[in-house]
Structure 1
Amino acid sequence: MTAATPDQNRAPASRAQAHHAFARSDRSAIGVWWWTVDRWMLGVVALLIAVGVVIAFAASPAAAARMNIGDPFHFAVRQCVFAAAAAAILVVTSMFDVKTVKRSAFFIWLIAIAVMVALPFLGHNAKGATRWIELGGFSLQPSEFMKPALIVLVAWMFSEGQKGQGVPGVSIAFALYLIPVALLLMQPDVGQTVLITATFGAVFWMAGVPLSWVMGLGVVAVAGLGSTYFLLPHVASRVDKFLQPDKADTHQVDAARVAQAAGRLFGRGPGEGVLKRSIPDAHTDFALSVGAEEFGLVFLMLVVTLFTIIVVRGLYRAMKLSDPFEQVAAAGLFVLVGLQAIINVAVNLDMIPTKGMTLPFISYGGSSMLAMGLTLGLALALTRRRPGAYTVGEGLAKAGAFA
């Protein structure tokens, strides 16, 4: 009988490890991270980032020509840089422990709020809103970074308030929420206000606050949103365009609908789209329609499926966490990503008035890309498979079943 070779004698588990970048015995920071982070989620996010880069290359030449920029791939190259930076932020933040997540969220929220306060004096005005600050050729939108930090902080305050140790967690959480809302309405940025209000309400509900309180918050939010129609002219204009398209200039949304229809199932082909040549926001707010025209309904369904996987898988893992703060904070971050995607898709499909909100990882924009890397990095940090992180019976066994 032929003697078995060392490779043949190797245990099945050892063979399986050979396919991974790190051995399970690797106790380095990278090795521990690799075996505890949700690698399926990393793969889905990487695919979304790759799709965003492809769309940037498709839309960049037309956008550059429209803005008289000599380099046709100006926006595509910048999107690649933003994508690499976002991936780095995601990996680094996903290595954080829970305490570091809390501390980071506090300082990020504080810095973002400080910059938002300074926007009326130092900010850059575009399209009637002062939302950005110029930093060496880069337009930073502080509200993008405020959002994930806010969700972590309010989840933290809700969990502290429920411990019954005299901490007014609900009151502090509302203060943390109302401050950025006031600053956003001053810019004005109703889209971001709607997004953080809806996410705050979801966190409010998931934290176990009485349903009557949640319903009360909903009534106040709806009333507040309705009042913006009468207080902010640009909001009234967008709503009127949506409700009476025959009496207003709806060029962007009309072109988006035409582009989606022209794409049919498999699209016109790379570089063959016409939407990007005439729409100012084709590479940003309407990037989804650019992709739908060139790559068809298949592209649209792929993007929707990837976001669905992120949200559903993220919420499932968050639900199995044993600590109330980790559970609510992680779920809130995944809800934030999902709601922003839903809003952008709904605008592209002409289901709601335009909001000026990017599609995470797909639309061109440095602040959005970096902030989304931060958002999912914090969510992945909270859902890592640490000892005792998951409930008994649902812990490492089930959480690691698809790792």
Structure 2
Amino acid sequence: MTSSSQAHAFARSDRSAIGVWWWTVDRWMLGVIAMLIFTGVLMSFAASPAAATRMNLGDPFHFAVRQCVFAGASAFILITMSMLEVKGVRRAAFFIWLAAIAIMIALPFIGHSAKGATRWLQFGGFTFQPSEYMKPALIILVAWMFAEGQKGKGVPGVSIAFALYLVSVGLLLIQPDVGQTVLITVAFGAAFWMAGVPISWVMGLGTAAIAGLGSTYFLFDHVQSRVDRFFSPDKADTHQVDAAAVAQAAGGLFGRGPGEGVMKRHVPDLHTDFAASVGAEEFGLVFLLVVISLFAFVVIRGLQRAMKLSDPFEQVAAAGLFVLVGQQAIINLAVNLNMIPTKGMTLPFISYGGSSMLAMGLTLGLALALTRRRPGAYKHTEGLAQAGQFT
């Protein structure tokens, strides 16, 4: 393709689906997400040899190759989802939630168990975690129901939203997966608050959520064990957290260098839950700060754009999705820094894992679709009639 034809393909006057998408999507956000995906691939090459050796796999880059495939698929999902119109976002969320819930119902009978939980469906050497895809779909459906309820047309939106939330949480606790339950509870609460529900209701939900979270300490042995290890490290095995702390300290400001980290050879989950510590050891504190800055950019810019949207559904749904991404990043980084009890939760786009990578592509793709610049979509652009007029 010649340079002139390339220029024509991306001209503002191009009214093709790709052309309209290019000029209406948040390209800064796309660039930062691409940097996060690239960082995740880079980290997989750093951690894969040690993980493959520990698991007696013949190919030292087994995990790196798979992560490259997941990254490509995630980018495809993200772009495809971000091209949807608002009606398409709602439809996609409805069918994704239904499919995920159906699989979660079947997990106790056909699911793959690991570490005392049954959260995955295993087939062909791959594991699929349906709850990862249920989360963004739930947030969109909840926002939709809140918006419908506000219209005053007899739709019990709040009641339906709570029913969707309770079904999702109930199935998560059966697995059990307390971490994901906390994630969607906070995101649901944020959507609840942004939808303009009376503050007394929000406080009531918050109180119930805190009481429910506290009860998990007595209901689930693995939660009790992790909390006890956090508050009494001298009385329990804290090998992974200690190794992560040593790795971060050894990395210093600029790290040991690519491939020179040693902690990843001794800790089973350093390429998944503790990928940030691998990066800190090999690339230093600067790497960790850059990663945190990239996530901060995605969440803050996303929330700013969401708050400027004129439609209540789009506003609440987009904000809820960005809150979801921010929460997951904060929880993973807090575990790596030993600020909260350990939780098997990946760092979006950075940690190794197919379900997490693909689900993050889905989540941010839907968020980008909702925050695209359309005529009348933003409060300060009501008078613009053509999508190509937006910058």
Residue 314 of structure 2 aligns with which residue? Answer: 326
Cα 1:316/1:307, change in 2 over 3 Å: same
Unpaired segments ≥5 residues, structure 2: none
Shift of 1:394: 8.0
Q: Contact 1:389 / 1:395 at 8 angstroms: preserved in 2?
A: no
Deviations 1:223-250 (A, max 9, x none): 1111110110010000000000000000
CA RMSD in angstroms, aligned pairs only: 1.9
Shift of 1:17: 11
Residue 347 of structure 2 aligns with which residue? Answer: 359
Match of 2:323 among 327, 330, 335: 335
Shift of 1:25: 1.4
Partners of 1:82 and 1:68 in 2: how far apart? 22
Partners of 1:276 and 1:310 in 2: how far apart? 28
Alignment of 1:172 onto 2:155: no
State the AA in 1 paired with 2:287: F
Residue 316 of structure 1 aligns with which residue? Answer: 304
Cα 1:287/1:116, change in 2 over 3 Å: same
Shift of 1:395: 8.0
Alignment of 1:54 onto 2:42: yes
Match of 1:156 among 144, 148, 151: 144
Shift of 1:255: 0.5
Partners of 2:74 and 2:5 in 1: how far apart? 28
Shift of 1:355: 1.1
Residue 119 of structure 1 aligns with which residue? Answer: 107
Alignment of 1:307 onto 2:275: no
Q: Contact 1:144 / 1:367 at 8 angstroms: preserved in 2?
A: yes
Equivalent runs, 1:58-97 vs 2, <5 Å: 58-97=46-85
Three-state SS of the structure 1 residue aligned to 2:380 is coil
Partners of 1:63 and 1:314 in 2: how far apart? 35
- How high is the sequence identity, in percent, across the aligned residues? 79
Shift of 1:137: 1.6
Residue 241 of structure 1 aligns with which residue? Answer: 229
Residue 6 of structure 1 aligns with which residue? Answer: none
State the AA in 1 paired with 2:304: Y
Partners of 2:98 and 2:390 in 1: how far apart? 37
Alignment of 1:98 onto 2:86: yes
State the AA in 1 paired with 2:290: L
State the AA in 1 paired with 2:66: R
TM-score calculated relative to the size of structure 2: 0.96
Partners of 2:7 and 2:284 in 1: how far apart? 35
Residue 384 of structure 1 aligns with which residue? Answer: 372
Cα 1:376/1:395, change in 2 over 3 Å: farther
Count of residues paired in the alignment: 388
Residue 292 of structure 1 aligns with which residue? Answer: 280
Cα 1:188/1:106, change in 2 over 3 Å: same
Match of 2:30 among 37, 42, 54: 42
Partners of 1:193 and 1:17 in 2: how far apart? 50
Partners of 2:286 and 2:324 in 1: how far apart? 25
The structure that has the greater radius of gyration is 1
State the AA in 1 paired with 2:82: S
Deviations 1:84-133 (A, max 9, x none): 00000000000000001000000000000000000000100011110000
Cα 1:334/1:402, change in 2 over 3 Å: farther
State the AA in 1 paired with 2:342: T
Residue 142 of structure 1 aligns with which residue? Answer: 130
Q: Contact 2:13 / 2:388 at 8 angstroms: preserved in 1?
A: no
State the AA in 1 paired with 2:84: F
Q: Contact 2:8 / 2:14 at 8 angstroms: preserved in 1?
A: no
Cα 1:57/1:311, change in 2 over 3 Å: same
Deviations 1:151-195 (A, max 9, x none): 000000000001111100000000111111111111111110011
State the AA in 2 paired with 1:355: K
Runs ≥4 in structure 1, deviation > 2 angstroms? 15-21, 392-397, 399-403
Q: Contact 1:320 / 1:395 at 8 angstroms: preserved in 2?
A: no
TM-score calculated relative to the size of structure 1: 0.93
Shift of 1:135: 2.3
Q: Contact 1:17 / 1:23 at 8 angstroms: preserved in 2?
A: no
State the AA in 2 paired with 1:59: A
Cα 1:132/1:387, change in 2 over 3 Å: same
Alignment of 1:264 onto 2:228: no
Match of 1:344 among 324, 332, 343: 332
Partners of 1:355 and 1:68 in 2: how far apart? 26
Q: Contact 2:376 / 2:382 at 8 angstroms: preserved in 1?
A: no
Cα 1:331/1:255, change in 2 over 3 Å: same
Residue 362 of structure 2 aligns with which residue? Answer: 374
State the AA in 2 paired with 1:271: G
Q: Contact 1:17 / 1:24 at 8 angstroms: preserved in 2?
A: no
State the AA in 1 paired with 2:224: A
